[in-house]
Amino acid sequence: MKKLIAEFIGTMWLVVGGCGSAIFSAAYPNLGIGFVGVSLAFGLTVLTMVYAIGPISGCHLNPAVSIGLWAGGRFDKKSLLPYILAQVLGAILGAVIIFLIINGKPGADIGNFAANGYDLNSPGNYNLISAFVTEVVMTFMFLFVIMGATHPKAPKGFAGIAIGLALTLIHLISIPITNTSVNPARSTSQAIFAGESYMIQLWLFWLAPIIGAILAGIIFKYIASNTDVDVE
């Protein structure tokens, strides 16, 4: 239960910090942080949570991460569904917090609520194929970094930095394409408030990240097995 509470709180923070920065700060007149700032915000939420709850739950914050770690032999299958449920509920709480804050401003419009999409719901009007390829590849690389940074032979104490910077880079690449998901829980929480067109497209932001994560888990497990490389 303590692990699930940690995942719940951590995923809530991911949504509040990452999506909140996109909704409240990115387009703020004269002071907007832009998509570079939003990319950093997502990376910082993960970096801070790695050190805060990593020792408790492993700091997955993402159903795709949990599934990918299971595929890579790093996570118990029995814990998958409880972790995923905690992550989705935590993400929804984060979205509720953002929604309550937005409604404290007269005449506020939630817009796309930092939701993920393709075609007309894509920031750059990228199509389904572009979105699918992007989400598979970005999630693959995210899991690949996570698997490597948390490997027993990796330098100790630096995993959070590598993982946080990887997520920042992923957002810098893919915000114009899909608004960056690589996380089904994050996508679900925002789509609920963004409207029907985003809910209709939500399937992609479960399927593609999970495919990318499973591939990364399997491939990293293969290339890292029986290696004698010492990391100083």
Span 154-182, pLDDT tens digits? 888 889 999 999 999 999 999 999 999 99
Q: Does domain 2-224 have CATH number 3.10.50.30?
A: no
Distance between CA atoms of 110 and 114, rounded to whole angstroms? 9
Contact by Cβ (8 Å): 38, 21 = yes
Distance between CA atoms of 167 and 164, rounded to whole angstroms? 5
pLDDT reported for residue 227: 59
**What single string gives the DSSP state of each residue in the chain?**
-HHHHHHHHHHHHHIIIIIHIIIIITT-TTT--HHHHHHHHHHHHHHHHHHHHHHHH----SHHHHHHHHHTT-S-GGGHHHHHHHHHHHHHHHHHHHHHHHTTSTT---TTTT---SGGGSTT---HHHHHHHHHHHHHHHHHHHHHHTSTTSPTT-HHHHHHHHHHHHHHHHHHHHS--S-HHHHHHHHHHH-HHHHHTTTHHHHHHHHHHHHHHHHHHHHHTT--PPP-
State pTM to two decimals: 0.93
Other Cβ atoms closer than 10 A to 222:
10
Distance between CA atoms of 188 and 34, rounded to whole angstroms? 23
Other Cβ atoms closer than 10 A to 228:
5
**What pLDDT tens digit does each residue of the chain (232 aa) get?**
999 999 999 999 999 999 999 998 886 766 678 889 999 999 999 999 999 999 999 999 999 999 999 999 999 999 999 999 999 999 999 999 999 999 998 888 888 999 999 999 999 999 999 999 999 999 999 999 999 999 988 888 889 999 999 999 999 999 999 999 999 999 999 999 999 999 999 999 999 999 999 999 999 999 988 655 444 3
pLDDT reported for residue 229: 47
Span 192-213, pLDDT tens digits? 999 999 999 999 999 999 999 9
Distance between CA atoms of 173 and 64, rounded to whole angstroms? 19
Count CA atoms closer than 13 A to 95's CA, side-chain side.
21
Q: How far apart are the first and last CA of the chain?
A: 36
Domain-wise residue ranges, the chain: 2-224
pLDDT reported for residue 231: 40
pLDDT reported for residue 26: 80
